[in-house]
Amino acid sequence: MARRHDPERRQRIIDAAIRVVGRAGLAGLSHRTVAAEADVPLGSTTYHFATLDDLLVAALRQANEGFAKVLASHGDLASPDADLPAGLAALLGEWLAGDRTGVELEYELYLAALRRPALRPVAAEWADEVTALLAPHTDPATAKALVALMDGICLQVLLTDTPYDETHTRETLTRLLAPPGA
């Protein structure tokens, strides 16, 4: 049945794109596969997203919200006296123990920016947002280094199928946050 007024259609298309990439990878993404997944006419996908890159930007932006929301919602990290290494190590553990498909999808979209320049600003937004959330606990350069280290740890866990080691992560984050010469 055709829907004349469908204010949620754009969001359904984004959600469908995320499901398609989660199931079939970026290679399986097309306007046609997304339209079928969203149960909308093909023209709707191209109306809302002229190119696949436009659709990927929207999907990446939505996927990026996940980790930043989890980080922002961790009240124990909001305190200036927080044990930042322990809190971040626990947070990564929660993140990686959650829906593995969702975490893999986020990284697949994030890494797609290597080949799709249109995605690079969105990938940078994510890093900047997480850095800004961490900056009150340390200086901006160290906050950037924390984001890079956490990214690297997540990628290693995802790519090598090794279990996440919270103790090792906490110790590594502690070393990064140690004052020079300590």
Distance CA 119, CA 108 (A): 12
Could you give all domains of the chain from N- to C-terminal order, each with its CATH number? 1-50 (1.10.10.60), 60-177 (1.10.357.10)
Neighbours of 175 (CB within 10 A): 11
Radius of gyration over every alpha carbon of the chain, rounded to an integer in angstroms:
19
pLDDT in tens, 121-164: 988 888 888 888 888 888 899 999 999 999 999 999 999 988 99
The residue length of the chain stands at 182
Residue 64 has pLDDT above 90, yes or no: no
| pLDDT the model gives residue 32 | 96
Residue 2 has pLDDT above 60, yes or no: no
Q: Is 68 exposed, middle or buried (0-12, 13-18, 19+ CB in 10 A)?
A: middle
Say whether pLDDT at 40 is over 60: yes
Contact 102, 66 (CB under 8 A): yes
Contact 31, 45 (CB under 8 A): yes
E strands present in 44-92: none
pLDDT, residue 70, reads: 75
CA 125 distance to own-chain centroid: 10
Q: How far apart are CA 122 and CA 142, in angstroms?
A: 22
pLDDT at 1 over 60: no
Percent of the chain residues topping a pLDDT of 90: 47
What Cα–Cα distance (Å) separates residue 21 from each residue in 56, 72, 122?
10, 26, 17
| pLDDT over 60 (residue 96) | yes
Give tens-digit pLDDT for 5-26: 688 999 999 999 999 988 888 8
- Report pLDDT for 4: 64
pTM of structure:
0.79
Contact present, 112 and 55 (Cβ < 8 Å)? no
